[in-house]
Structure 1
Amino acid sequence: MRTTPKLLSVAIIALVTLGACQKSSTAVDEDVADARQDAAEESLTARKDAEAARKKAAADLASARRDGAEENIDTRRQVAAAESDAMEDKAERDYDVATTDAEGRHQVAMERCEKLKGAELDACRSAADAAQAVALAKAVAERDARLVAANNNR
């Protein structure tokens, strides 16, 4: 069987194009591992920031409570304000952690989708986006409920 140069060129172009359209399983696995690592590092940073803020809020609250040992209305207001501030700070820090976690899970899910193609790829991406939207909505709702509680504590 004799192959013409033109037919051979078309075959080579087709193979190169086909290979460029889809990531290898190893590359996708590496991307998933990188996304996991990035998500873990970002979550750890967010958790450390939240913990430092919680410790500061706890120290401020303890200080306000010590100052509030006197039974006067002004001191009680200071204690309530410090408690409310601590509650607000915790709500915001927990929100930061939740959104960071949601972003990390979304990145990992999107990397996993890269093994797929066509309608399966679209469905995988849609599912990842939907899961992220739910996680973010839940984080917003929890934060807002805590902020309302903090405001009512004043």
Structure 2
Amino acid sequence: MKIVIQRVSEAKVEVENKTVGEISNGLLLLIGLDEEDTKGDAEWLVKKILDLRIFSDEAGKMNLSIQDISGEILCISQFTLISDYKKGNRPSFIKAAKPELALDLFNYFKTEIAKSDLKIESGIFAADMKVSLINDGPVTLVFDSKTKN
């Protein structure tokens, strides 16, 4: 699993010109699912994200987690994160999880992160989505569950 984490002051996702998810102060998560990903990958990433200290404390230091600030999370599935671009000029998505597996893992990830009792919003899996955000900082990180060891 690969996740692009963006600290945002606001973000929203639209499908067919209708807002289907919207947050203020928090994290936008772009989630790519690999054919080899498991629930264990999702669980590890949820813990890392919830404990990640990238919000400013009173002294202006990145020392607070999303839980510390009672922030909000917007989850967006994005299979293009699982691309192979080594050969040629057209990316290959052959290693991306098949839709059935990806949907199950995406929903599992959302269920696990929702246990935090934070506000969790989401795009629509496999839909043509328009995502807009104001990146705060900017702070953008990339996590890959394959590098957890």
User: TM-score band (shorter)?
Assistant: under 0.3
**Which structure has the larger Rg over C-alpha atoms?**
1
- Give the alignment's TM-score, normalised by structure 2: 0.25
Structure number having the greater strand percentage? 2
Structure number having the greater helix percentage? 1
Higher relative contact order (CA 8 A, sep 6+): 2
